[in-house]
Amino acid sequence: MVKQLLAGFVLLLSTLTVRAELVVEVTQGVDAPSPVAIVPFDWSGSALSEDVAKIVSDDLGRSGFFKMMPRENMLSTPHERSQVFFRDWRISNNDYIVIGRLIPAANGQITATIELYDVLKEQLVWSETVNGNSSNLRDVAHYIADQVFQQLTGIKGAFSTRIVYVTAEMLGKDKYRYRLQMADSDGARPRTILESKEPILSPTWSKDGSKLAYVSFESTRPSIYVQHLATGQRQRIQSFKGLNGAPAWSPQGDRLALVLSKDGNPEIYVLTLATGQLDRLTRHYGIDTEPTWSPDGESILFTSDRGGMPQIYSLHLPSRDLKRLTFEGKYNSRGRLTQDGRFLTMVHQDSDGFHIAVQDLKSGRVDILTSTGLDESPTIAPNGSIILYATKKGGRGVLAGVSLDGRVRFTMPNTQGDVREPAWSPFLQ
């Protein structure tokens, strides 16, 4: 009981920290982001645990598509159409305004009515009534942000998704604490899924978002586990001699690509989960690792040093044709594809370190998106808008985000220990 309370307290603390420290930095204004004002929502009951309008505003601001109006600059705080003076919002250069009211309903429920207006046309763009309660106001806020995002960009919002990541702390000589954590897409509400004295790495989501696969050294050797998120139940699915690593779920959800070195050196295998059948895909004395699937499930991309230095290759499964994808620079590894299969994000080394880069597979153009020198583990939001990755700040591991065009960057706060290996969930039901 005490433990639970304590856990709740810690959770609350870190939640607060997250919101206090999230820093969004818009680096280059290539196309001007659309200015939007999210007016604080009306609420007459006792103090709420969350500031819903602020969460909506932070979500949209982090996407890079919008320039959010600071609250202190608002001349008025309307909650209904009749209170909106469009001229005021035009003078303060807003294209859109979101207003709303939260109303207490029966059984502790809260009903939120939200309206999005086009300031120039003075027209209602979208309105919805959302039901929630005082304990899930963050879900309500992320839902509203998703709807506004989709209305204004035409792209499905991904704020209601989740991220997992690993934290590590060195407690003393040969003493470490590793945690697998899950949080909202904005880093809030972190909770521990697994904790161990031995390393945890390479978490990856099943395509339906119900399971995670990861590598854990808890038996003092690396093994691959699959954990059901709802029940916490898990299975050890692979534990050969040598490496058992880098699991990656097929888009159909029935197979896992992974790395085993049981036959001498690291090779890519595909495990069919229902039957346990293991197919070896690569045969090379070099290192083959970090598999990832193409969205159609037809190809597996992986890192290999068969050419001397690590580069990313693509293996077409039906034909077994192998193609090298990366040629720029001497080190390109751990690729991840956007949902449309067009852009490959990866870790790219140049003269001043390891950066996140994106390659347009159609044109071959490579853009280096980050300027810090120890960047790794890129993971793409399911709507393709943002890449989240791990970097170092002040000697500690933190998570940071960058848009695919490099225009927007933000740093997630460092909560405890070294944070690394973010993995963005798919859209969740």
Partner 1 sequence: MRVSNVTKAVSLALSVAWIVGCSSPSTLSDEDTSSSTADGSASTYGTGSGNGVNGSGAGGSVDVANLQTVFYFDFDTSSVRNDSIADLEAHAQYLSMNPTAAVRVEGHADERGTREYNMALGERRAKAVERFLAVNGVSAGQVESISYGEEKPAMMGSDDSSLSQNRRVELKYVSR
Residues near partner 1 (CB under 8 A) are 168, 170, 174-178, 192, 194-199, 201-202, 217-222, 232, 234, 241-243, 245-246, 259, 261, 265-266, 287, 289-290, 303, 310, 331, 333-334, 347, 349, 353-354, 374, 376-377, 392, 395, 420-421
* Choice between 119 and 300, CB closer to partner 1: 300
Question: Closest by alpha carbon to 375, among 401, 337, 406?
Answer: 401
Taking the complex as a whole, how short is the minimal distance between the CB of residue 333 and partner 1, in angstroms? Answer: 5
* Choice between 9 and 85, CB closer to partner 1: 9
Taking the complex as a whole, how short is the minimal distance between the CB of residue 64 and partner 1, in angstroms? Answer: 26
Taking the complex as a whole, how short is the minimal distance between the CB of residue 258 and partner 1, in angstroms? Answer: 10
Taking the complex as a whole, how short is the minimal distance between the CB of residue 232 and partner 1, in angstroms? Answer: 8
Taking the complex as a whole, how short is the minimal distance between the CB of residue 65 and partner 1, in angstroms? Answer: 30
425 in helix, strand or coil? coil
Taking the complex as a whole, how short is the minimal distance between the CB of residue 228 and partner 1, in angstroms? Answer: 12
Q: What sign results for the dihedral spanned by CA atoms 130, 134, 137, 139?
A: negative
* Choice between 142 and 348, CB closer to partner 1: 348
Going by C-beta distance under 8 Å and a sequence separation of 6 or more, which residues neighbour residue 312? 301, 302, 303, 304, 324, 325, 326, 332, 333, 335, 344, 346
Q: Which residues pair with 118 in a beta bridge?
A: 96, 123
User: Rounded to an integer, what is the distance from CA 405 to the centroid of its chain?
Assistant: 17
* Choice between 67 and 348, CB closer to partner 1: 348
Taking the complex as a whole, how short is the minimal distance between the CB of residue 169 and partner 1, in angstroms? Answer: 10
Q: Which two tokens stand for residue 180?
A: 């697998």
* Choice between 14 and 160, CB closer to partner 1: 14
* Choice between 110 and 260, CB closer to partner 1: 260
d(CA 99, CA 110): 16
Taking the complex as a whole, how short is the minimal distance between the CB of residue 324 and partner 1, in angstroms? Answer: 16
Q: Count Cβ neighbours within 10 Å for each residue of 13-38 and write b for 16 or more, e otherwise.
A: ebbebbbeebeeeeeeeeeebebbbb
Long-range (24+ apart) CB contacts under 8 A made by 63-66 are: 63/149, 63/385, 63/386, 63/403, 63/408, 64/26, 64/33, 64/385, 64/386, 64/403, 64/407, 64/408, 65/33, 65/34, 65/149, 65/152, 65/153, 65/385, 66/33, 66/34, 66/35, 66/36, 66/152
* Choice between 19 and 177, CB closer to partner 1: 177
* Choice between 50 and 267, CB closer to partner 1: 267
Q: Which two tokens stand for residue 385?
A: 């808008």
